Amino acid sequence: MNAAISHRHVIVRLLQGPVYQEDLDLWGKLGAEWERIRDHFMQMGLEVARDDAAGYAFVRHREDIEDDDPDDGWGDSVEAPLPRLLRRTRLTYHQTILLVLLREELMRFEQNQEEGSHLYRTAQELRDLMSAYYPELHDEKKVHRQISGLISKFEDWGLLRRVRDKDGGLYRVERIIKAKLPPEKLAEVREKLKQRTPELDGGMEEEDA
């Protein structure tokens, strides 16, 4: 582990996005300084969601704070609610579809694979996965650009990781998607999408709880 990497580097990286086990120095420092890093975020009303088996960690607002009613009054003896540090991102229609489809792909993959293996998809496979959901666009190049933009956005969010540039690119589907879209939320989002996009009905499987 690089001795120049401190707990501060981990904190900054977590504020930027997920930390993965493959980020050896950051992941090692996260484990070595876990209580210090965890307590730092708790002071800001945040928690570090950490899954050692899947090899990822990310920051989110603590559930007890998320559940607080912002309209509740507070007096001098009660601490005022903390400002929200993490911006909520409202997904577009196509971003939501890609997230659900990748979650389904990951679920099917893990049902047939040993622990520790990863799901990979080429850029072309991702385009094939999404192209059916652009029926209003008849320009293949425009569809290509739209889907490439989706892939780039998912890279920015840490949901896809580009591991090879050759032949258009190869991407690893990160398991953090499971935390972003747990089973109960997946079912809810799936139902909403089916109302608008009936063709999703035949392409999705129910997840075992």
Provide the sign of the torsion angle of the four alpha carbons 188, 185, 181, 81, taken in this order: positive
Beta-carbon contacts of residue 91 (< 8 Å; ≥ 6 apart): 99
Length of the chain: 209
Residue 14 has pLDDT above 80, yes or no: yes
Question: Nearest 5°: phi and psi at 44?
Answer: -100, 10
Q: Which is nearest to 143 in space by CA: 162, 124, 120, 160?
A: 124
- Average pLDDT value for residue range 62-76: 49
Collapsed DSSP state (helix, strand, coil) of residue 185: helix
- Residue-level pLDDT at 120: 92
- Which amino acid is located at 139 in the chain? D
For 104-129, write each residue's pLDDT tens digit.
999 888 888 755 578 999 999 999 99
pLDDT-based confidence at residue 71 (cuts at 50, 70, 90): very low
Collapsed DSSP state (helix, strand, coil) of residue 162: strand
Spacing of C-alpha 201 from chain mean position: 23
Poorest-confidence range of 82-86, 130-134, 152-156? 82-86
Strand order in the sheet with 56-61: 19-20, 56-61, 46-51
- Average pLDDT value for residue range 178-187: 85
Specify the pTM: 0.71
| Structural tokens at position 156 | 């920015």
For 94-107, write each residue's pLDDT tens digit.
999 999 999 999 98
As a whole number of angstroms, the distance between CA 101 and CA 200 comes to 9
- Residue-level pLDDT at 79: 64
Sorted by where each starts, the structural domains of the chain and their CATH numbers stand as: 1-88 (1.10.10), 93-203 (1.10.10)
